[in-house]
Structure 1
Amino acid sequence: MATLDILIPHFNDPEALALSLRSVRRQTWQGDLRVVVADDGSRPDIKKAVSAMAEHSEIKIDVLFNPVNRGRPYTRNVLLDAIDSDYVAWLDAGDEWYPKKLAEQFDRVELVESSHMGTPFWVTCNYDWAWVGRRKKKIVQKTDQDQAKALLIGSSLRAYLWTLLGPAQSFKDVGWFDERLPRLQDLDYFIRFVLHGGSIKNVREDGTFCVYHKSDVGRDAEEIRACNTYIFDKHRVLFNRYGDSFKAMRLYNMEMLAARFAQNNRSGKLARQYMWRAFKARPRAFLNHVRKNGLKA
């Protein structure tokens, strides 16, 4: 049995998958690992390319194929079922790990497990946020705070699976990814983990250990807003815990995020609709935003 399973969903982008696999091969950590790629109904020619990539790889790669496209949460559930190791890490096709990521995270795992805390845990890490066409920006994962509240805010602690490594059971115990969430299923998964007693740790080193290649192009603003609405309704009790002002600010941010997606995909009319809704949720916050940034979401 391998020590670590690295779980990667993939759809119609073998170049992005190759980029991610190269970053796995460059890891300084020397333990046994297995990569599991779940292809979500890619074109036949791309499926052949993925199979060839796995066959000729220097590391062990198992490839699973969905017969048709079922979406990322379904594919992540396929990957959950495929876990066969003591530890698990996630990586999205197109994102990269820096060489010391696994080594630093396993150092933290060893410390946590030696303390015999007995509570489920994941180890995250700081990362670089790389917008297409812009310079990288370091994002720090601050874990020493109310983690449920921080995840809902989404600025100082962000719900990205590809930052994580942890015991396999800590992922299995959360249950399935919610297949009604084509987007933001990471956030729902993190919230459920924390609400059921899980704790997120960070590595001890202060550097960045992976990079998120970020672009809004082709992302559906209405889908993003609908997923945020679903999460708000699903976890309404948690939102209520932090009061009306907190809820109003979260609703404001949901509208502004949807406006950003619409604007970056040249849907100006839709962006203005979301901005108007943001203004109604938090007028002062919206006007402060306009003073600083104009009408940019």
Structure 2
Amino acid sequence: MLDILIPHYNDPEGLALSLRSIARQSWTGGKRIVIADDGSRPDLRKAVEAIVEHSEMKIDAVFNQVNRGRPYTRNVLLDSIESPYVAWLDAGDEWYPDKLERQFDHVDLIESAYMSQPFWVTCNYDWAWAGRRKKKNVQRIDQDQVKALLIGSTLRAYLWTLLGSAQSFKDVGWFDERLPRMQDLDYFVRFVTHGGHIKNVQHDDALCVYHKSDVGRDADEIRACNAHIFDKHRVLFNRYGESFKTMRRYNMEMLAARFAQNNENAKLARRYLWRAFKIRPKVFLSHIMRKGMKA
């Protein structure tokens, strides 16, 4: 039996898309879907209630009376777990039909080997940026997983790629409610640093798709969340040396600049680009020449 946990806020169309992808799964085991609505507008809450009422799948819905943010809502979902296995899916994203089947096959393989440490099974995924072609991203697990997660390039902290035992998620504890964004990264880092290991299915194709957009997302909030993670896990950043820390600080500013640019806030973007230049001027200028980014 599997619990599928879905946070939702003001996007019933995206929720319906996600639920259709669950309904198309080739895995035939029992599924219980839990939707936690984070204080959506009254009309959109009614739309969620209608989706739940008319679905042929087993769906439990929980409603926050006011908007409390994604980490709080994920903690509500953690409290709702009843099944021995758990998967996550954000409203608006999709699983391809064989995702759960391939992940459960890998879970069976690992459990038959009596692996003692807790594990999550991730998968490769597609990025579908608005207005662009899909791009496959590979989750590389054969490396220092803590370092790779902090870099966020070849192993990314996305909950909706995961399948694991209920206990493996409960043991990590609460999502950090001080992180309105990027709480996935903090959660993954805590899992790995406490003895957990991330596995990947023995299958090269993407098994889910992330419909990605920066529009409407606050650059200052992204920067603040990055800074909070840097401070919270400073011991880990220190482990990898000054050059590593400097590059992470540079990337914080560049990421915030990207969000500002994609939300047409040129003044804020220039501020973050200037900060990035001061941290790593040669790297910044190389990036400008390579990408043609306008400072």
Mark yes or no: TM-score above 0.5. yes
- Equivalent residues in 2 for 1:223-242 (5 A)? 223-242=221-240
1:87 maps to 85
1:162 aligned partner, one-letter code: W
User: 28, 48, 53: which is aligned to 1:55?
Assistant: 53
User: 89, 109, 114: which is aligned to 2:107?
Assistant: 109
- What SS is found at the alignment partner of 2:121? strand
- Equivalent residues in 2 for 1:97-176 (5 A)? 97-176=95-174
1:40 aligned partner, one-letter code: D
1:72 aligned partner, one-letter code: R
- What SS is found at the alignment partner of 2:211? strand
Where does the alignment leave 5 or more consecutive residues of structure 1 unmatched? none
2: distance between equivalents of 1:14 and 1:288?
Answer: 43
* 1:284 positional shift: 1.3
2: distance between equivalents of 1:125 and 1:296?
Answer: 35
Q: Percent identity?
A: 77
1: distance between equivalents of 2:117 and 2:279?
Answer: 38
2:188 aligned partner, one-letter code: F
1:54 aligned partner, one-letter code: V
2: distance between equivalents of 1:288 and 1:239?
Answer: 24
The yes-or-no answer on 1:246 pairing with 2:256 is no
1:281 maps to 279
2: distance between equivalents of 1:67 and 1:26?
Answer: 31
Runs of 4+, deviation exceeding 2 Å: 294-297
1:46 maps to 44
* 1:172 positional shift: 0.2
1:108 aligned partner, one-letter code: H
User: 15, 18, 37: which is aligned to 1:17?
Assistant: 15
- Write out per-residue CA displacement over residues 101-121 of structure 1, whole angstroms, 9 at most, x where no aligned residue: 000000010011111111110
* 1:283 positional shift: 1.3
2:253 maps to 255
Question: Cα RMSD over matched residues?
Answer: 0.8
- What SS is found at the alignment partner of 1:141? coil
2: distance between equivalents of 1:150 and 1:185?
Answer: 16
- Write out per-residue CA displacement over residues 30-79 of structure 1, whole angstroms, 9 at most, x where no aligned residue: 00010000000112222221111111111100000001110000000000
Where does the alignment leave 5 or more consecutive residues of structure 2 unmatched? none
1: distance between equivalents of 2:218 and 2:225?
Answer: 11
* 1:26 positional shift: 0.2
Answer whether contact 1:217 1:264 (CA < 8 A) is retained.
yes
* 1:296 positional shift: 4.7
- Write out per-residue CA displacement over residues 1-33 of structure 1, whole angstroms, 9 at most, x where no aligned residue: xx1000000011100000000000000000001
- What SS is found at the alignment partner of 2:175? coil
2: distance between equivalents of 1:52 and 1:137?
Answer: 34
2: distance between equivalents of 1:282 and 1:252?
Answer: 7
1: distance between equivalents of 2:17 and 2:136?
Answer: 20
2: distance between equivalents of 1:296 and 1:152?
Answer: 27
2: distance between equivalents of 1:112 and 1:282?
Answer: 43
- Equivalent residues in 2 for 1:57-76 (5 A)? 57-76=55-74
Q: Structure 2 length as normaliser, TM-score?
A: 0.99
2:110 aligned partner, one-letter code: V
- Equivalent residues in 2 for 1:29-44 (5 A)? 29-44=27-42
1: distance between equivalents of 2:292 and 2:15?
Answer: 38
